């Protein structure tokens, strides 16, 4: 049976329910992604040198550059978390989040492909694993893909409840 989009339209009831639910679902997505960034940045901000070592463990850039990126990354994550909590520049924060997540996924994937034995450092610590420890690259990639879906949702539907963006939109 050949079913076309014209023969299976989305029901008006569904669309009405979606328009009602979407801003609230977006609020949960926004706050969930904010929590991720606040937890990740908060875990690293107390040990900027450790964050630099975690970035350096990926072995894709000179050590001095890895130290700078590692020291700056927790502040970028915290800034993204704060922007998302208050709902200010949500689409921009979602776009930067998506870009960072793609970089993180690529970094973890290349570490796995190259046989590196490292902790991703996503939520603190990071760096070379101790002898006998195994990396968890697959679950880390899947986790970050899930976060990427959240960022994508906010790129498409950035206006959410309880946000400065929505308040500014009404002005």
For the entire predicted model, the pTM comes to 0.90
> Closest by alpha carbon to 34, among 73, 71, 87?
87
Both tokens assigned to 85: 């909590």
Most distant CA pair in the chain: distance in Å? 62
Boundaries of every domain in the chain:
24-165
CA–CA dist 152, 134 (Å, integer):
31
Q: Report the interhelical angle of 48-56 vs 63-86 (nearest 10°).
A: 120
- Distance in angstroms (rounded) separating the CA atoms of residues 165 and 29: 15
The neighbour count for residue 26, using CB atoms within 10 Å, is 23
158 touches 89 (CB < 8 A)? no
Q: What is the pLDDT of residue 1?
A: 46
Per-residue confidence in pLDDT tens, the chain, 171 aa: 454 555 557 888 999 998 999 999 999 999 999 999 999 999 999 999 999 999 999 999 999 999 999 999 999 999 999 999 999 999 999 999 999 999 999 999 999 999 999 999 999 888 889 888 899 999 999 999 999 999 999 999 999 999 999 999 987
**Angle, CA of 107, 113 and 118, to the nearest 5°:** 60
């Amino acid at each position: 049976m050949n079913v076309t989009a014209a023969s299976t339209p989305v029901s008006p009831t569904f669309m009405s329910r979606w328009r009602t639910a979407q801003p609230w679902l977006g609020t949960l997505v926004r706050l969930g992604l904010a929590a991720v960034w606040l937890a990740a940045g908060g875990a690293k901000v107390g040990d900027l040198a450790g964050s630099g070592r975690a970035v350096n463990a990926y072995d894709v850039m000179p050590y001095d550059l890895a130290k700078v990126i590692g020291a700056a990354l927790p502040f970028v994550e915290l800034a993204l978390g704060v922007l998302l909590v208050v709902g200010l520049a949500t689409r921009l924060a979602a776009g930067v989040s998506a870009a960072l997540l793609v970089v993180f996924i690529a970094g973890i994937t290349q570490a796995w492909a190259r046989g590196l034995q490292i902790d991703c450092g996503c939520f603190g610590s990071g760096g070379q694993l101790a002898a006998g420890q195994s990396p968890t690259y697959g679950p880390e990639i899947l986790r970050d893909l899930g976060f990427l879906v959240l960022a994508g949702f906010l790129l498409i539907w950035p206006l959410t409840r309880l946000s400065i963006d929505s308040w500014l939109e009404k002005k």
